[in-house]
Amino acid sequence: MSETASTRRLVVGYIATDRGRDAIALGISVARSIDIELVVTIVRPEASTILSGGAVPKDGAGIVEQQIDEWLEEAMALIPDDVRAKGVIHIASNESKGLMEVAESEGALGIVIGARATTLMRQLRIGTVASALLHSSTVPVFLAPHGRSDIGPISRVTALYGARPGASSLIGAAVETAYGLGVDLRLLSLIENDGLFEDEVAELTEFAEQYGGAVLAEHASEMLASGRAVVKSQAGADIEEAAENIDWQSGDVAFVGSSRLGRGGKVAIGARARRLLRVLPVPVVVVPRRAVSTSRPAAH
């Protein structure tokens, strides 16, 4: 297949650990759902970083280069024949900066990274690379949960939203992705009911569901009318309890939005979303404020 300017790409950040293999697994699942090319990327530290402090011998840079070449070969060997992929070694001062540079140069629709290894009942731990991306990326960031990233083809998109400015971008990206994939869409508002009376919870639930339905109708009313999209709410004593009670199915992907601090179309994950990431057992896509679809090329 010839490569064209309209080729859709997804950058997969790889390191030779379980975190890198989780990212590869999620990238493969996405590629089997969307006609997209994976750009498997290893960020190589700049020579000044490698050799700082004199801890590495004179030929140290060459040794590091050879090792990175071997790691990339190992990564590419994980890609099955039915998935289009290419390998890239990119030099940058740090991994997050390098991944964003590759995403920009490739016109990628998003960046996939693995979360850190989990602790008991904590699904997604945010390390330094993820944290940097979640405060500066201009494209969606896909977080691959440890050991739960090989989800097969995507079967449903669940957008977890709040009734506040910014949900429109999130719901829009979720609608476009679900519509482009031909899968179901679920808009789910998580409500913290700690300290609220029952009538207040009911009122907040009704408002959240009406809000989600109104935003959805602006984007794809036919999905709502046909039953392919549903709008619901889930209440709990706190955000973690509400999220822990969500029912998931095989192939589910969750979309969460950026905080109101995410200006300039960049991802900026807030405290509420961080709490969500601790309990969600499925891959998570964090959407920038000015969202782009992950299922088709952005309009020019």
User: Which residues of the chain register pLDDT less than 70?
Assistant: 1-5, 47-63, 116-127, 163-166, 259-270, 289-300
Residue 134 included in any domain: yes
> Is there a single domain that holds both residue 90 and residue 164?
no
Task: Report the alpha-carbon distance of residue 236 to residue 51 in Å, rounded.
Answer: 51
pLDDT of residue 298: 38
pLDDT of residue 263: 52
Task: Report the alpha-carbon distance of residue 155 to residue 134 in Å, rounded.
Answer: 25
> Is there a single domain that holds both residue 51 and residue 175?
no
> Is there a single domain that holds both residue 64 and residue 23?
yes
Spatial strand order of the sheet with 156-161 comes to 85-92, 37-45, 9-13, 111-114, 141-144, 284-287, 252-257, 156-161, 184-192, 229-236
H or E segment to which residue 50 belongs: helix 47-50
Residue 267 included in any domain: no
Residue 268 included in any domain: no
Q: Scan for tokens 């031909």, then name that residue.
A: 182
> Is there a single domain that holds both residue 18 and residue 138?
yes
> Is there a single domain that holds both residue 50 and residue 165?
no
> Is there a single domain that holds both residue 72 and residue 128?
yes
The dihedral built from the CA positions of residue 17, 18, 21 and 23, taken in this order, carries a sign that is negative
pLDDT of residue 226: 83
pLDDT of residue 271: 73
Number of domains forming the structure of the chain: 2
**DSSP letter (8 states) at residue 194:** T
pLDDT tens column, 190-222 = 888 887 778 888 888 888 888 888 888 877 888
Distances (CA, A) of 95 to 22, 150, 172, 216, 277: 17, 23, 29, 36, 21
Residue 90 included in any domain: yes
pLDDT of residue 288: 82
Residue 260 included in any domain: no
Neighbours of 244 (CB within 10 A): 15
Q: Do 135 and 96 form a contact (C-beta atoms < 8 A)?
A: no
Domain around 205: 156-248
